[in-house]
Amino acid sequence: MNIKLQQNKSLPTKVQVDNVANWIVVMSYPVKNEDFTYSAQLLNRRKLLDLKEADTKPLTIDLPNARSSHVTFAAIEQSISTFDLLTLSRKLVAGHSDSNTNQLGLVVSGFDDISAERIAESLISAALAAAATMPNFKSEKQTPTKLAKLSLYGVKLRHGFKQSFAIAEGNALTRRLSMLPSNKLTPTEYLKEVKVLAKENKWKLEFYNEANLRKKKAGAFLAVAQGSPKADAGIVRLRYTPANSKGKKIFLVGKGICYDTGGTNLKPANYMFGMHEDMQGSAVALGTLLALTRLNFNRPVECWLALAMNHIGPKAYKPNDVVTASDGTTIEVVHTDAEGRMILSDTLALASKEKPALIMDYATLTGTCIYALGTSYSGVFTNQKAWHPSLIKAGEDSGERIWPFPLDKDFDDMIKSDIADVKQCSQESGVDHILASRFLQRFVKHDTPWIHMDLSSSNKKGGLAHIPTDTTGFGVRYSVNLLLNKYLVT
């Protein structure tokens, strides 16, 4: 992102007064010292509305200076959760969406150094998320002023904000790809996008096309792909290798169904609309890889993207078919709209052959996870039960909240098949998110530590935390924080 951050460690003397302690202020246009003489106007506005100091509702005012600087501000408690802080930051930044400014001033006043840096990080992340360019195919093009500069006041930096910029870039990539219509992001076009990124970032790229996958006997993946009129499905394998590599490889795996009709079990219209985003899991994996690359992450990372369409047609796979995955597992097809676990099963089996230290996979996989959690949390599953507290804590700290679900063996009773090793899913309803994860787990070989994220919060009406768009790109911020801050022992 081509946005300059100017850091001003201290506030002008005139703003360092008790009556503006514990405040966050976002100002349009370049911040000048005389602007801080108007702190009384902010205080009066707050008193007028009889707000408590802990109230996180943003207020607005236009300063009576020559530039009529537009200001959004709030008073908060230092103990505010990361999620609430990010949400507030999104609202503070959104208050400037109509001001057509290319600069924002961010003021943090009245907090200890660590808290001030945390608050500043949230504001910067919200500003960067709002500034990201998303797809727009309207004939009447609007040319809003692009954010070019952030001026930060009142924060004594310890580490800087390189991580925030890297995560913002990865999240923007995830959201942009996810929003593209399926006729603009076919597997063919997706591969072209990935090739450009690979060249720019010096990632090694391999593509296992359908011919390659037939040789690898990846029958579960190919069952889904066979319904497409164009044979462009396949698995992308990207490799990032840092100069001073430390530790074993980490694998990121993503579901990349570029459009999901439901296949032979055709989706109803209301459930089919929006299915161009069924590839968001792959975009999260790719965005996470980009962010880690920007941060010169010191461990090798591979990114495996399972790209396909789930089409309806005379060659499409159908219920009661029996197919064989690359590890020899026979699968009885029950419902063709459970295609994500089919393409991921072969991808996970092939990836885990490499014996990485950790596999994290991402998928917009099941409706039952949305029924269980709504769209503010995502679900996670792991074969390392002891990790549950750390996974929850990573979500609380990053502001991308998750909740773990059980993976007990007795759930397998619901996917027993009379004629194959396993059923693809159950005809019973209620716990499909758990059954899908039990299904996927059997394809993770060699006791590889594994985390599966069911992205129930991939799309949230009105945005989520600091992200202003319905398409959230959830998972990039979580994953980068999880890996960089070493919540897990891998």
Contact (CB, 8 A) for 253 and 362: yes
Residue 245 has a pLDDT of 83
Please report, rounded to a whole number, the percentage of residues in the chain having pLDDT higher than 90. 73
Rounded Cα–Cα distance for residues 89 and 99 (Å): 17
- Per domain, the residue ranges of the chain are 4-157, 165-484
Contacts of 213 (CB under 8 A, 6+ apart): 221, 222, 234, 235, 326, 346
Residues in the chain: 490
Give the DSSP per-residue string, 161-192.
SHHHHHHHHHHHHHHHHHHS-TTTS-HHHHHH
Nearest to 289 by CA among 241, 357, 234: 241
Question: Is the model more confident about 151 or about 34?
Answer: 151
**CATH node for 165-484:** 3.40.630.10
Name which of 171, 153, 143 is nearest 116 in CA terms.
Answer: 153
Q: What is the pLDDT of residues 226-269, one digit of tens each?
A: 999 999 999 999 999 999 888 899 999 999 999 999 999 999 99
pLDDT tens, position by position, 378-405 = 999 999 999 999 999 999 999 999 999 9
**Residue 215 designated active-site:** no
By the 10 Å C-beta count (0-12 exposed, 13-18 middle, 19+ buried), 244 is classed as exposed
Q: Is the pLDDT of residue 294 over 50?
A: yes
Q: What is the CATH number of domain 4-157?
A: 3.40.220.10
Q: Is 175 a catalytic residue?
A: no
Mean pLDDT in residue range 349-365: 98
Confidence at residue 140, expressed as pLDDT on a 0 to 100 scale? 86
Annotated catalytic residue within 249, 255, 341, 460: 341
Residue 17: its pLDDT value, please? Answer: 35
pLDDT of the residue at 53 = 47
Mean pLDDT of 67-76: 80
pTM for the predicted model, two decimal places:
0.94
Can you give the pLDDT at residue 141? Answer: 77
How much is the average pLDDT of 171-190?
98
User: Out of 45, 216, 267, 442, which one is annotated catalytic?
Assistant: 267
User: Can you tell me the distance from the alpha carbon of 325 to that of 443, in angstroms, rounded to the nearest whole number?
Assistant: 9
pLDDT in tens, 430-487: 999 999 999 999 999 999 999 999 999 999 999 999 999 999 999 999 999 999 999 9
**pLDDT score at 20:** 41
Tens digits of per-residue pLDDT, 15-27?
Answer: 443 344 466 778 7
- Mean of all residue pLDDT scores within the chain: 90
- Exposed, middle or buried, 441 (CB in 10 Å: 0-12/13-18/19+)? middle
- Residue 159 pLDDT: 76
- pLDDT higher than 60, residue 113: yes
Q: What is the pLDDT of residue 46?
A: 58
